[in-house]
Structure 1
Amino acid sequence: MSTTTSPTIVLFARGTLALLDLWPALTIAVTEQWGGPDSSEKKTWLASTLIDEFESRATYLPSPAGTSSTGAAIVDPATANDPPLDHDDIADLLTQILSDEFDANLEDGSIDSVASDLVRLWRDLLASPTGADPETLVRALEGKADEVRKTGVKASSGGDADTDGEDADSDDDGEEGMDVDEAPALVPAQPKEKEEPVVDEDGFTLVQKPKRR
C-alpha cells in the first residue's frame, strides 16, 4: 500500500467531519463542555479515531494497479458493501467515547443514526449508486454543516441526514438517519452517591468496602 493517503479516505475524512458537525448531541456536548475545557479537541480526536479505524482496516487494490497517478493508494471499490467498520462497530465506538470523554449517555437514538450515516457515506463514496460524483456528495454534506453552524440546533427529535443531498427515510440496515437541525436528549452521567460514615457503639468509624457496580 502506498504511503500517500487514498483519495477515497480523504473524501471520507471530510464527510466524517461534516457528519459530526451535523450531530446535534455532539454539538451540545462540546458547547456545554461536557468533556471539560478541551471538549472541542476531544471532538477532533473522535473524528480522527473514526477516520484512522476506517483507513487502517480498508482493503486496497494491489500495486501497481492500486495506485493513482499521484502515487496514492486506491481503496478497492468491491468493498463498498463491506465497510471496514460495520454499524455495530461504529455505534459501540461512539457510545464508549461519549461516555468516557464527555461523561454523557444518549437516549435519543442518534448514535445509531450517526453510525448508519457513516456506513452509507463509505458505500456512496465507493459505489456512487446515484451516479453522483463523490466530491459532490461530500460538498453537499459540508454545505449542510456550514448551514447548521450558522443557525445552530433546536430542541426536537427524529429526522435524518443523508449523504447524497436528498432526503432518505432509512439506510440499508433499516436505521433512521439524524435530523441536522434537531437536538437530542443528552443525559450526563450520574454522579456517585456519597456514602455516610458508619459509627459503632463505641464511637469508632467503621471502614467500609467499596460497593461493586
Structure 2
Amino acid sequence: MSTDAAPAPQILLFARGVVALLDLWPALTIAVREGWGGHESADKKTWLASELIDAFESRADYAEADGVRTVEPSNAADPPLDIDQLADLLTQVMSDEFDAAIEDGSVEPLAGDILRVWRDVVAPSTRTPEETVAALERKAAEVTRSGVAATSGGGPEEEDGSDWESGSEDDDDDEAPQLVPAEPRQRQEPVVDEDGFTVVQKGRRR
C-alpha cells in the first residue's frame, strides 16, 4: 500500500474486504496449508493481499476536503482494474508463488467479488461499507472455524434481499474444474449458502 499519504477510509475498508475474500478462497487456503509456496506460504498470502490493495489504491482518483482524503465515487463505475486484469493477477501469483494452476473456476468469481467490494466501499447503495465488510469478515471467521470451503461468487446479500451480481457469468465447461496438479474429476455444481456464498468441496493436491 502506498505510504505517501494516509490511506483513504475507503481503502482501509477495501483492504479488510480483500483479506476476508482471500480467507474464503479454498485454492489459496489449500496452497498455504500444504506449503506449496514453501516456508513463506503464509507470508505470500499476505503479500498477495497487499498487491491487490495497492493496485487499487495507487490507481484510484482522490478528492481531499478538510484534510480528509477520499476516493472519488466515479471509481466505482470505472475501477482501477477490471475483472480480467484481476483474474490474470491472481492466476499469475498462484502460478509464480505457489506453483499451482487454478482450474476450478474460482478465479473469475473471486475477481468479481473483489470488484463488488470495491464498488460497495466507494459508492455504497443499500448497505453501509462497514456492514458489507463486516459481513465478509464474519463469513471468513465462520469458514476458518468450521473448515468449510466457501468460494467467491456471491457475496453477502444486500439488505433488500438481493445478492451481488455474479462475477462468473462466463464460467463454462471448457475450463478444467480442479486445482492442479490433480487427477481430473467431475465438475461439481455450486451450492449457495444462506449468506450468498458458494460452498464447494476442497480440492486435493495429488
> Once superposed, which parts of structure 1, at least 4 consecutive aligned residues long, lie more than 6 Å away?
none
In the alignment, what sits opposite 2:60? 58
- 1:2-21 paired onto structure 2 within 5 Å: 3-21=5-23
1:37 aligns with 2:39: yes
Give unpaired runs (5+ residues) of structure 1. Answer: 189-213
1:182 aligns with 2:184: no
Question: Quick one: distance in 2 between partners of 1:41 and 1:159?
Answer: 22
Count the aligned residue pairs.
178
Q: CA deviation at 1:55?
A: 0.3
* Aligned position for 1:195: none
SS at match of 1:160: coil
Q: Which runs of 5+ in 2 are unaligned?
A: 172-189
Tell me, in whole angstroms, the C-alpha distance in 2 between the residues paired with 1:22 and 1:4. Answer: 28
**What is the TM-score with the length of structure 1 in the denominator?**
0.74
CA RMSD of superposed structures (Å) = 2.7
Question: Which of 67, 70, 76 in structure 2 is aligned with 1:74?
Answer: 70
SS at match of 2:62: coil
**Where does 1:30-179 land on structure 2 (aligned, <5 Å)?**
30-61=32-63, 66-67=64-65, 69=66, 71-129=67-125, 131-154=126-149, 160-164=153-157, 168=163, 170-171=165-166, 174=169, 179=197
Q: 1:122 to 1:142 in 2, by over 3 A?
A: same
Inter-partner Cα distance in structure 2 for 1:169 and 1:128: 12
Alpha-carbon separation, structure 1, partners of 2:24 and 2:151: 14
Q: Please say which of residues 99-108 and 163-172 is displaced more in the overlay.
A: 163-172
Quick check: which has more Rg, 1 or 2?
1
**Distance change >3 Å, CA 38–CA 159, structure 1 → 2:** closer
Q: Is the 8 A contact 2:113 2:167 kept in 1?
A: no
Q: Which stretch shows the higher mean deviation, 51-60 or 171-180?
A: 171-180
Partner of 2:175: none
